[in-house]
Amino acid sequence: MPTIVKSYGPLNARIAIVGEAPGRKEEELGRPFVGASGGLLSVMLSDAGLSKDQCRLMNIMETRPPNNDFGAFYEDKKRTVPRVALLEGKHRLSQELERLEPNLIIALGDEPLYALTGKRGIKKWRGTLHNTKLGKVLGTYHPAFILRKYDERPVSQCDFGRASRECTSRLFQEESLTIKVRPTFSDVMEWLDANRNSERCSFDTETLGRLVRCLGLGVDSHSAICIPFLAVQRVRYGASER
């Protein structure tokens, strides 16, 4: 019989944290998010002013998959056809979250994000707040992934910072974003003039070899501009583009 690892943490927690399935250490101790990844999760929550002990810790599946491969819960390698056990796990998770009614659900990794929002691609959607029937869902990288690719920690830490702000209420507020892309020269000068007194400005560049393709500037989380310097022309060959 496989070891069942139940959810753990206060039933009145403001935050529910959802992972994929137990690992070896979780299976041994009978609790989710212990071991190395659980330790990193504790540190990242603490750095954001949160405590893991005050969160409800959950997984989609309560049993460890063979060889720690979550793909074993699917019929196919592309993970499009879930097995009965996975469907049951998602149903159990939904019911538990409905009873808990946390202010915020943090989805750690692609599978929890997909289970809770129906969206694939944690790299694309991390840091985005989703309004679902179960409540607000915020996706970010799983600590186990960060341990393998530690340079992703800063952006994930920003996600936990957002979690600390969003967990105070169940209310979902639509974001008002002003992002200018492909601006004219006049647009750029107007934007720079309008934001000349901003306290801070973040920037990022995209390059092609040694050439700068574009420069992104942002003065806060709602206002940004992308200034292009180089256009890459696509040439169509037959039915494909190169």
Which of 116, 140, 166 delimits the end of a domain? 166
Distance of CA 88 to the CA centre of its chain: 23
Q: Containing domain of residue 81, as a range?
A: 15-166
In the chain, the number of structural domains is 2
- The predicted pLDDT at position 240 comes to 46
Q: Is residue 8 part of a domain?
A: no
In whole angstroms, give the CA distance from residue 123 to residue 100: 28
Ranges of beta strands (E only) in the chain are 15-19, 55-59, 104-108, 129-132, 135-140, 178-181, 202-208, 211-218, 223-228, 236-237, 240-241
Going by their DSSP bridges, the two strands 236-237 and 223-228 should be labelled as unpaired
Answer yes or no: do 161 and 182 share one domain.
no
What confidence score (pLDDT) does residue 75 get? 96
Shortest CA distance to 231 belongs to which of 217, 216, 212?
Answer: 212
Final residue before a domain boundary, out of 166, 195, 226: 166
Same domain, 21 and 126: yes
Cα angle 74, 121, 88 (rounded to 5 degrees) comes to 35
The whole-angstrom separation of Cα 115 and Cα 106 is 12
pLDDT of residue 242: 42
- b/e map 158-183, b = 16+ CB within 10 Å: ebbbbbeebbeeeeeeeeeeeebeee
* C-alpha to C-alpha distance for 86 and 215, rounded to whole angstroms: 43
26 plus 81 within the same structural domain: yes
- CATH number at 124 reads 3.40.470.10
Q: Are residues 48 and 125 in the same domain?
A: yes
The dihedral through the CA atoms of 164, 61, 24, 26 has a sign that is positive
- Does an H or E element contain 189, and which? helix 185-194
Of the residues 111, 133, 166, which one is the last residue of a structural domain?
166
CA dihedral 207, 213, 217, 221 (to 10 degrees): -70
Q: How far is the CA of 207 from the CAs of 152, 214, 219, in angstroms?
A: 20, 7, 22
65 and 151 inside one domain = yes
Q: What is the dihedral of CA 179, 184, 186, 188, to 10 degrees?
A: 40
pLDDT tens for the 242 residues of the chain, in order: 789 999 999 999 999 999 999 999 999 999 999 989 999 999 999 999 999 999 999 999 999 999 999 999 999 999 999 999 999 999 999 999 999 999 999 999 999 999 999 999 999 999 999 999 999 999 999 999 999 999 999 999 999 999 999 999 999 987 767 788 889 999 999 999 999 898 888 889 989 888 899 999 998 877 899 999 887 655 555 554 44
